[in-house]
Amino acid sequence: MSEKLYKDISTFKVLADELISEFNSKAISIKHNPLEVLKKFDISLDENGISEEKFIKILRNIVLNTPKTSGNLFFNQLFGGLNSKAALGDLLAVILNNSMATYKISGPMVEIEKEILKKVSSIINYPKEYGGTIATGGSMCNFMALIIARDKKNNTIKNKGNSGKLICYASENAHYSIDKNASFSGIGRDNVRHINTNKKGEIDVIELEKKIIEDKKNGLNPFFVNISIGTTVMGAIDPIKEISIICKKYDLWMHIDGSYCGSIIFSNQYKYLIEGINESDSFCFNPHKTLGAPLSSSVFLVRNKKHLSNSFSNKAEYLYQTDDDDYNLGKFSFECGRRNNSLKFWTLWKSIGTKGIEKMVDHNYELSHYAREYIKKNSDKYTLYSYENSLSICFNYKNIDPIKLCTELYNKNKLMVGYGNHKNNTFVRLVTVNRENTKNDILNFFKTLEDFANENL
Ligand SMILES: *Cc1c(COP(=O)(O)O)cnc(C)c1O
């Protein structure tokens, strides 16, 4: 076993070295026709195995032809760039292969997860009763929040089913997981109220309260409000303080989905934008988005642990045989076998400290200001759709169709960027989430896009 593992890890090193050397030198990846991929790369699984030589050759070819998300031309998703210390931690987590369910099988890794939760809870000023978990994504965190809130409102649903008249609220720009989660939790997609937003993409608080009053009048039971710190398209931050007043007044669970921009909690310069976060009942953010931890890495916190444990703790004698519940993290999570998604964020944090993370976040915002300034300076050619203090820079170049522009940039392997829409405008959405990038990389993004558009469209 060890001999084989040593050998395959040296193969890994060779492949990884080549891959990393291409991160910035070969754009993202040549686009292959999806209908040809299966044959072209010998992907099919057959009765018989293959020689080592052939195996490595095929694997290399597949790896080098897979889109590379860590280079300086990838702006397509809300993640990008890889933090090297986080990658190191994640690679070790694979070799360790613990399951983060009990202390017995993961030992000190339990304290690593708990330390992250403790530090984040103190940064957002949660009381000492806080609880939390490292979950498998922002969608999952939002799902957990919804279930916990449901059970807090009506603790019979988890046993008897039928969530009846429960209603939740989110802005029209909130992440699509809110609707899916309403379906999964038995609340129902039709019982999500999508509240209008203003031109910046922030939820309309007056309409929110109106809808709540109306629903109550109709005998329904409002229970949950989703607030975004960074809406997926516009990167808008909902007005937390104002919503917190409404949540208190009507006894609603206040969840903050910071999946996109929640890492702003680390920034002394920008945290004024999220004042009131300490009033929330639950909060989540994704170190895999703005901080460069490998997918997936999501921190989920609840203000009071008893609610988390009420919904998620299950007896399982075959599993929980030793140690205190506080150390058996499976009691606070969805999964039974739990991949170690904590170590990567811990290696990142431990190596550069909280101050180092703050620098990363500030740098992302600095790049966003730089990109917006560039567009404003070139307003004869560009239209800007986004506002200050957002990591999403939404724009159009000349009168070029943004869908065509983004698609052709991808087809021709120039760079990867996506499009979005808001208030009847469709635009290119540049995201400055890759803190490895410099201002020059942002400038290069615009130059590449302009040259390509001028020559081809
Ligand atoms: C990305 C995102 C999510 C989903 O997070 P995953 O980790 O991809 O599941 C949820 N909410 C917002 C606002 C997001 O941007």
Q: How confident is the model at residue 331 (pLDDT cuts 50, 70, 90)?
A: confident
Instruction: Please give the Cα distance from 181 to 139 (Å, whole number).
Output: 8
At 206, list the tokens: 């007056």
pLDDT at 187 over 90: yes
Q: The sheet that has 221-228: what strands, in order across it?
A: 131-135, 298-302, 282-285, 253-258, 221-228, 166-171, 192-195
Q: How far is the CA of 286 from the centre of ligand 1 (A)?
A: 8
Instruction: Please give the Cα distance from 311 to 305 (Å, whole number).
Output: 10
Ligand 1 atom closest to 142 (CA): 10
Mean pLDDT, residues 162-188: 96
Mean pLDDT, residues 86-95: 98
At 124, list the tokens: 């957002």
pLDDT top residue among 325 and 132: 132
Tens of pLDDT, residues 43-59: 999 999 999 999 999 99
pLDDT at 323 over 80: no
pLDDT at 428 over 90: yes
Instruction: Please give the Cα distance from 304 to 248 (Å, whole number).
Output: 16
Mean pLDDT, residues 158-179: 95
Q: What is the pLDDT of residue 282?
A: 98
CA-closest residue to ligand 1 atom 10: 138
pLDDT at 92 over 90: yes
Q: How far is the CA of 67 from the centre of ligand 1 (A)?
A: 20
Mean pLDDT, residues 286-294: 98
Q: How far is the CA of 299 from the centre of ligand 1 (A)?
A: 12
Mean pLDDT, residues 417-427: 97
Q: How far is the CA of 78 from the centre of ligand 1 (A)?
A: 8
Q: How far is the CA of 348 from the centre of ligand 1 (A)?
A: 21
CA-closest residue to ligand 1 atom 2: 259
Q: How far is the CA of 366 from the centre of ligand 1 (A)?
A: 22
Q: How confident is the model at residue 315 (pLDDT cuts 50, 70, 90)?
A: confident
Does residue 23 sit in helix, strand or coil? coil
pLDDT at 320 over 80: no
Q: How confident is the model at residue 328 (pLDDT cuts 50, 70, 90)?
A: confident
Ligand 1 atom closest to 138 (CA): 5
Ligand 1 atom closest to 298 (CA): 7
Q: How far is the CA of 139 from the centre of ligand 1 (A)?
A: 6
CA-closest residue to ligand 1 atom 5: 138
Q: How far is the CA of 276 from the centre of ligand 1 (A)?
A: 21
Tens of pLDDT, residues 383-396: 999 999 999 999 99
Q: What is the pLDDT of residue 273?
A: 98
Q: What is the pLDDT of residue 285?
A: 98
pLDDT top residue among 290 and 26: 290
Instruction: Please give the Cα distance from 239 to 202 (Å, whole number).
Output: 7
* Residue of 76, 78, 178 with the most ligand 1 atoms within 8 Å of its CB, for mutation: 78
Report residues whose beta carbon is within 6 angstroms of any ligand 1 atom.
78, 137-139, 175, 177, 228, 230, 232, 257, 259-260, 286, 296, 298
Q: How far is the CA of 137 from the centre of ligand 1 (A)?
A: 7
User: Scanning the structure block, which residue is given the tokens 């990008």?
Assistant: 80
> CA dihedral defined by 231, 234, 235, 237, rounded to 10 degrees?
-70
DSSP per residue over 201-248, as a string? S-B-HHHHHHHHHHHHHTT-EEEEEEEEBS-TTT--B--HHHHHHHHH
* Residue of 232, 261, 284, 300 with the most ligand 1 atoms within 8 Å of its CB, for mutation: 232
Name the average pLDDT for the chain. 96
Q: How far is the CA of 36 from the centre of ligand 1 (A)?
A: 31
Ligand 1 atom closest to 260 (CA): 15
| % of the chain residues with pLDDT over 90 | 93
pLDDT at 318 over 90: no
Ligand 1 atom closest to 288 (CA): 7
Q: How far is the CA of 192 from the centre of ligand 1 (A)?
A: 18
Mean pLDDT, residues 104-114: 96
Q: How confident is the model at residue 375 (pLDDT cuts 50, 70, 90)?
A: very high
Tens of pLDDT, residues 225-269: 999 999 999 999 999 999 999 999 999 999 999 999 999 999 999
Mean pLDDT, residues 32-52: 95
Beta carbons of 426 and 420 less than 8 angstroms apart: yes
Q: What is the pLDDT of residue 113?
A: 97
Mean pLDDT, residues 70-77: 95
Tens of pLDDT, residues 18-27: 999 999 888 8
Instruction: Please give the Cα distance from 298 to 138 (Å, whole number).
Output: 6
Residue 252 DSSP code = -
Instruction: Please give the Cα distance from 386 to 55 (Å, whole number).
Output: 48
Ligand 1 atom closest to 231 (CA): 13
Q: What is the pTM of this model?
A: 0.97
Q: How far is the CA of 99 from the centre of ligand 1 (A)?
A: 24
Beta carbons of 27 and 415 less than 8 angstroms apart: yes
* Residue of 257, 296, 298, 334 with the most ligand 1 atoms within 8 Å of its CB, for mutation: 257
